């Protein structure tokens, strides 16, 4: 068990620090939970990811120590093992520490690995859920992830594998026309994902929506289909996180009857074969 050299323990030898694994949501600070906002304002240390928006970070306790540990594709300046050590070290010094993660810490956020490392070191921790990108982006655009007659279920997958290993999924299972498929972190591999889904039987005409920097002022969107989405994504030249929503529910994107309030805040546009980028 890893134990830092400088410890602060109670009389029973138990570290007095506490770590909260907090979901920061998809980017819009208004989508933070009340508990997450309170913990940010009280934290003594905040260890945060690259995908946490500046607007969310602005809500942090101004006296808190801020420790960035963000990763980029193929660029991990702070390996996961080191992040685990940072959390353990901060807790052993007795500080209340928030580990702030984009979206939800237990959905493609490696939060479970950090929780296991903390518990193995005898550190108390608690998970504070957040709105994951699939929910936040779909809701802000008025797209239901399930809809009677179009999708009876939804599946989340990550579009890249550890150490750039080949994508290995149950493609036949994913190519279900009655299921909405949401792909996180899939921009680099969207061509392969589209190809494998088509080979497994999903029609090339299946609508796809790509959302870049969802729920933030920098949000951009592309509507296309499974056949042309790879080229459309390349032309869009997205910077930042991209989420793909694949399935017939995307056909409701421009349907003003689904979520009328969306028309007041976002200019909706119909899917078209040229895959227009909407800012």
> Phi and psi (nearest 5°) for 38?
-65, -45
Q: What is the DSSP letter of 174?
A: H
CA angle at 52 for the pair 81 and 83, rounded to the nearest 5°:
10
For residue 253 the two structure tokens come to 């994107």
Taking a C-beta distance cutoff of 8 angstroms, is the pair 187, 222 a contact? no
For residue 110 the two structure tokens come to 């490696």
Q: What share of the chain is helix, strand, coil (3-state, %, to 5)?
A: 30, 25, 45
Residue 259's Cβ-side half-sphere holds a number of Cα atoms within 13 Å equal to 18
Residue 45 host element (H or E): strand 45-48
Taking a C-beta distance cutoff of 8 angstroms, is the pair 203, 226 a contact? yes
Residue 69's Cβ-side half-sphere holds a number of Cα atoms within 13 Å equal to 24
Those residues with Cβ within 8 angstroms of residue 38's Cβ, 6 or more apart along the chain or in another chain: none
Which residues are catalytically annotated? 49, 71, 185
């Amino acid at each position: 068990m890893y134990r830092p050299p400088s410890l602060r323990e109670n009389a029973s030898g138990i570290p007095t620090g506490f770590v909260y694994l907090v979901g920061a949501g998809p980017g819009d600070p208004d989508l933070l939970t009340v508990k997450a906002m309170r913990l940010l304002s009280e934290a003594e240390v905040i260890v945060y990811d690259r995908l946490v928006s500046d607007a969310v970070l602005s809500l942090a306790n101004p006296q808190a120590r801020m420790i960035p540990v963000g990763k980029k594709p193929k660029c991990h300046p702070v390996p996961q093992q080191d992040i685990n050590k940072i959390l353990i070290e901060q807790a052993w010094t007795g500080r209340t520490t928030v580990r702030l993660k984009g979206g939800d810490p237990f959905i493609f956020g490696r939060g479970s690995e950090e929780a296991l490392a903390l518990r193995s070191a005898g550190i108390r921790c608690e998970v504070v859920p957040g709105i994951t990108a699939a929910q936040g982006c779909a809701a802000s655009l008025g797209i239901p992830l399930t809809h009677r007659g179009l999708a009876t279920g939804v599946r989340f997958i990550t579009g890249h594998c550890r150490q750039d290993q080949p994508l290995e999924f149950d493609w036949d299972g994913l190519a279900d026309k009655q299921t909405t498929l949401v792909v996180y972190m899939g921009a680099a591999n969207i061509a392969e994902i589209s190809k494998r889904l088509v080979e497994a039987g999903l029609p090339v005409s299946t609508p796809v929506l790509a959302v870049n920097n969802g729920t933030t002022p920098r949000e951009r969107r592309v509507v296309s289909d499974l056949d042309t989405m790879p080229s459309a994504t390349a032309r869009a030249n997205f910077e930042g996180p991209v989420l793909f929503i694949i399935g017939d529910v995307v056909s409701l994107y421009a349907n003003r009857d689904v979520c009328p309030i969306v028309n007041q805040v976002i200019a909706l546009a119909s899917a078209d074969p040229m895959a227009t980028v909407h800012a």
